[in-house]
């Protein structure tokens, strides 16, 4: 990759992955499989991988437990961002943050648009997949991409 300083030592990080879904099972979790594959092929470790029902309290509990887990460096969630009443990942994340860093989402949407020349509209999809936010939660920098 360009712009990577190869004179620096590689630091492997440990991930927690949560697939938020009422319908996915381990054998049908394609997005979790893709994340796992990309993370491990990049030299990192997936320490925790769970499928969590689309319930705000269960999502919050998973996130808070991983934030407190000193063995986890990165938390990624996939799913739970649709437009139905059960899809609640963004609401769960927003319930536990301490501070939102404004403007981050707009910056990432602009970068994505310039790079890909398209913008995914939640009106044209079944997901609120155009939300990108930056928060502080329990002294962690938290990047959320729904």
Burial profile 27-65: b = 16 or more Cβ within 10 angstroms, e = fewer: eebeebeebbeebeeeebebbbbebbebeeebbbebbee
Work out the burial of residue 140: count CB atoms within 10 Å of its CB; fewer than 13 is exposed, 13-18 middle, 19 or more buried. Answer: middle
- Indicate whether 132 pLDDT > 90: no
Average pLDDT, integer, range 6-35 = 90
- Distance (Å, rounded) from C-alpha 2 to C-alpha 63? 33
Query: How open is the CA angle 144-56-84, to the nearest 5 degrees?
Result: 85
Average pLDDT, integer, range 19-25 = 88
- Residue of 78, 80, 63 lying closest to 32 (CA atoms): 78
Beta strands 74-78 and 45-52 are unpaired
pLDDT attached to residue 49? 96
User: What are the structural domain ranges in the chain?
Assistant: 14-145
Average pLDDT, integer, range 88-110 = 79
Higher pLDDT, 73 or 100: 73
Query: Ranked by mean pLDDT, which of 70-74, 121-125, 135-139 comes out on top?
Result: 70-74
Q: CATH top-level class for 14-145?
A: alpha beta
- Indicate whether 123 pLDDT > 60: no
**Phi, psi of 135, deg, nearest 5:** -130, 165
Query: Ranked by mean pLDDT, which of 5-9, 20-24, 45-49 comes out on top?
Result: 45-49
Average pLDDT, integer, range 128-133 = 55
pTM over 0.85: no
pLDDT attached to residue 79? 78
- Distance (Å, rounded) from C-alpha 2 to C-alpha 85? 43
Sheet of strand 14-20, all strands in order from the earlier edge strand to the far edge: 45-52, 14-20, 74-78
């Amino acid at each position: 990759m360009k712009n990577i300083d190869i004179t620096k030592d590689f630091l492997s990080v440990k991930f927690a992955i949560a697939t938020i879904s009422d319908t996915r099972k381990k054998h049908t979790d394609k997005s979790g499989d893709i994340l796992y594959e990309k993370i491990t092929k990049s030299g990192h470790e997936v320490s925790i991988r769970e499928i969590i029902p689309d319930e705000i309290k269960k999502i919050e509990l998973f996130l808070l437990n991983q934030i407190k887990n000193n063995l986890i460096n990165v938390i990624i969630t996939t799913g739970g961002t649709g437009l139905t009443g059960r899809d609640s990942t963004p609401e769960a994340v927003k319930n536990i943050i301490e501070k939102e860093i404004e403007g981050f989402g707009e910056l990432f949407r602009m970068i994505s648009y310039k790079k890909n020349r398209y913008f995914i509209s939640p009106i044209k999809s079944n997901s609120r997949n155009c939300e990108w936010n930056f928060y502080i939660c329990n002294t962690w920098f938290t990047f959320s991409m729904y």
